[in-house]
Amino acid sequence: MPELPDVTVYIEALEKRIRAARFEGLELGSPFLLRSIDPRPETLVGKVVRGTKRIGKRIVIELDEDLFLVIHLMIAGRLHWKPGTSRPKLPGKRGLARFDFSSGSLTLTEAGSKRRASLNLVRGESDLARLDRGGLEVLESDLEGFRRALARENHTLKRSLTDPRLFSGIGNAYSDEILHHARLSPVTWTSRLSDEETERLYRATRETLIEWTEELRREAGDDFPEKVTAFRPKMAVHGRYKQPCPVCATPVQRIAYAENETNYCPRCQTGGKLLADRALSRLLREDWPKSLEELEDLKAQRRV
């Protein structure tokens, strides 16, 4: 799922291309994309783009008369830009919508068979505010604000960081990177964090989001960002199961659940302890290795 760094770079690219342009039409490739009833799409035609911004992981395009296009890419939604007045065809099953502007066309696609991306057409700031889940903008917050958000509910660090009601714009990928940078276990309860660990997490969160936003800006350059993905070679742990940790070279481990997974370094983050994967724990029961040493012993036995 595109998260704060990815969405920020998308918005910056759109700002250069559509600000002051006229909205000329919307073509829907899927009737399930549009999640609002009023205003109707034709109401927006002819309105001028006044700006773009982010609400959580949503992309907001502001038009004249307090009208807004709000796009949530969810997991597999991606944006593509074509300049000029020649309107591209929607690409097969992946094409969900095309937004036409006087400066070019923005196409929304979604990989896979599940349709989760969404579009809301909104009238007025008050209705727009209802789409905000209320999470803290960490890059706009001081340490005390971060501490208060973290203490609102007692969850594991992984869950808290990815809860849009607590923190804005952070998802599965960057939470892995943040926790590795902070040298904290993803299953540590927020109520058990020391003041020093909380400050470490705050600084790691800011530094990770800033560094990756700058990295994605450099990657895109003056082009529209077309390589948006949750898995990047320069990431420390996310999507790097069994690959060496860049800090200590220990193989990265993971906890798989539903459609997500948590990636972590057992030496840097959990003191050498392997976190129990639910599915494998049920399968292996007492044979599930509890530490790196037990894991290495188990591998050695299998080689014999």
The H or E element spanning position 60 is strand 58-63
Burial class (CB in 10 A: 0-12, 13-18, 19+), 212: buried
Is the domain of 100 the same as that of 201?
Answer: no
Is the domain of 125 the same as that of 142?
Answer: no
The H or E element spanning position 98 is strand 95-101
Is the domain of 102 the same as that of 157?
Answer: no
Residue 114 lies in a domain: yes
Q: Looking at residue 125, what is its pLDDT?
A: 97
How many helices (H) does the chain have, and how many strands (E)?
10, 10
Is the domain of 154 the same as that of 122?
Answer: no
Tokens read off for 63: 């038009």
Residue 226 lies in a domain: yes
Is the domain of 64 the same as that of 167?
Answer: no
The residues near 262 (Cβ < 8 Å, ≥ 6 apart) are 158, 172, 176, 186, 254, 255, 275
Residue 272 lies in a domain: no
Residue 227 lies in a domain: yes
Is the domain of 124 the same as that of 142?
Answer: no
Residue 154 lies in a domain: yes
Residue 274 lies in a domain: no
Residue 292: pLDDT band with limits 50, 70, 90: low
**Number of structural domains in the chain:** 2
Is the domain of 124 the same as that of 17?
Answer: yes
Share of the chain above pLDDT 70, in %: 90
Residue 1: pLDDT band with limits 50, 70, 90: confident
Is the domain of 122 the same as that of 213?
Answer: no
Q: Looking at residue 257, what is its pLDDT?
A: 76
Instruction: For residue 75, give its domain range.
Output: 4-129
What is the identity of the amino acid at 171?
G
* CATH code of the domain containing 89: 3.20.190.10
Mean pLDDT of 194-214: 98
The residues near 302 (Cβ < 8 Å, ≥ 6 apart) are none
Contact 29, 117 (CB under 8 A): no
Q: Looking at residue 279, what is its pLDDT?
A: 52
pLDDT tens, residue by residue, 133-179: 999 999 999 999 999 999 999 999 999 999 999 999 999 999 999 99
Mean pLDDT of 272-287: 61
